[in-house]
Structure 1
Amino acid sequence: MRQTTFIKPAEVQRTWYVVDGAGKNLGRIATEVASVLRGKNKPTYTPNVDCGDYVIILNADKIELTGNKFENKKYYSHSMYPGGLRVRTARTMKDKYTVEWVEKAVYGMLPHTRLGNVQRRHLFVYTGTEHPHAAQKPVELVIKG
């Protein structure tokens, strides 16, 4: 009989990954990165422990969307005051708020709990090709499509 092993937070081995977003689809990047942030790519995955890795996304300004999503996709936020609804298109988000645009896509695929809040802090998004995490020796994460 096999025994299910649960990893403890002190036993987690973390790796740094770097993703080049140039010419890639936003949804494909977000699903792969969310899976790595949660640790679901590891055989020691435990749902209630933060066993995920760190991810750096580069060239966020070169990430694409398919079809007419740049004009049709809308991002809504509300200030909780009367008349405080703010609507932005995907084109506006990409042009003016690139980092938040990518983070919002990944955050939506993480759990909306305290554990998800910890996992969100392991994502770093940059618009260029430079990042200040060279000392961590990140490994390239290949994303299909």
Structure 2
Amino acid sequence: MKSYLAKPLEVERKWFVVDVEGKVLGRAASQIAAILRGKHKPTFTPHVDTGDFVIVINADKIVLTGKKLDQKMLRHHSHYPGGLKEVPYRVALAKKPEFIFEEAVRRMLPTGPLGSQTLKKMIVYRGPEHKNEAQNPEVLVLKY
């Protein structure tokens, strides 16, 4: 018996819309990362992008557990001496919740060209409305 290896032209993609209001950031991000990679399909192939498109709404109503809102920092460095910038997640979540959610998902995907291609299939919206009605997305309910 031979193993099935998906070919990029044979992959069928679906569109899903996910409401993350009241969901925990890490749990929601890990489930969405699995859908973007295609791990929920029996035709999953590690070196081929077999995942589906995901529309995330209500990203501004995501929840962080414990004291992460005040203790966890969003960090980036300018590559100059003393160029470390730190912002608490409470401030970052108020200013740019879409970026916070995209970063959480991006860090759960593989690095390299396949991970970049996979991340482009996710669209994050701050509020409850989205502009992708033409794709007829199915509503997806996350497990936790």
- Category of TM-score, reference length = shorter chain: over 0.9
In the TM superposition, 1:67-78 aligns within 5 A as 67-78=66-77
Q: CA deviation at 1:76?
A: 1.2
1:114 equivalent to 2:113? Answer: yes
In the TM superposition, 1:79-98 aligns within 5 A as 79-98=78-97
1:23 equivalent to 2:19? Answer: no
- Return the alpha-carbon distance in structure 2 between the equivalents of residues 54 and 92 of structure 1: 29
- Return the alpha-carbon distance in structure 1 between the equivalents of residues 131 and 96 of structure 2: 20
CA displacement, residues 10-69 of structure 1 (integer Å, 9 cap, x when unaligned) = 000000011001111101110000000000000000000011100010000001011111
Paired residue for 1:144? 143
Q: TM (normalized to structure 1)?
A: 0.97
Q: Which runs of 4+ in 1 moved over 3 A?
A: none
- Look up the SS of the partner of 2:128 in the other structure: coil
What code does the residue aligned with 2:143 have? K
- Return the alpha-carbon distance in structure 2 between the equivalents of residues 51 and 124 of structure 1: 17
Identity of aligned residues (%): 48
Paired residue for 2:58? 59
1:134 equivalent to 2:133? Answer: yes
Aligned length: 144
What code does the residue aligned with 2:87 have? R
- Return the alpha-carbon distance in structure 2 between the equivalents of residues 45 and 97 of structure 1: 33
1:44 equivalent to 2:43? Answer: yes
Unaligned runs of 5+ in 2: none
Taking only aligned residues, the RMSD between alpha carbons, in angstroms, comes to 0.8
- Return the alpha-carbon distance in structure 1 between the equivalents of residues 107 and 6 of structure 2: 25
- Return the alpha-carbon distance in structure 2 between the equivalents of residues 106 and 89 of structure 1: 19
Paired residue for 1:4? 3
- Look up the SS of the partner of 1:82 in the other structure: coil
Q: CA deviation at 1:144?
A: 2.1
What code does the residue aligned with 1:94 have? L
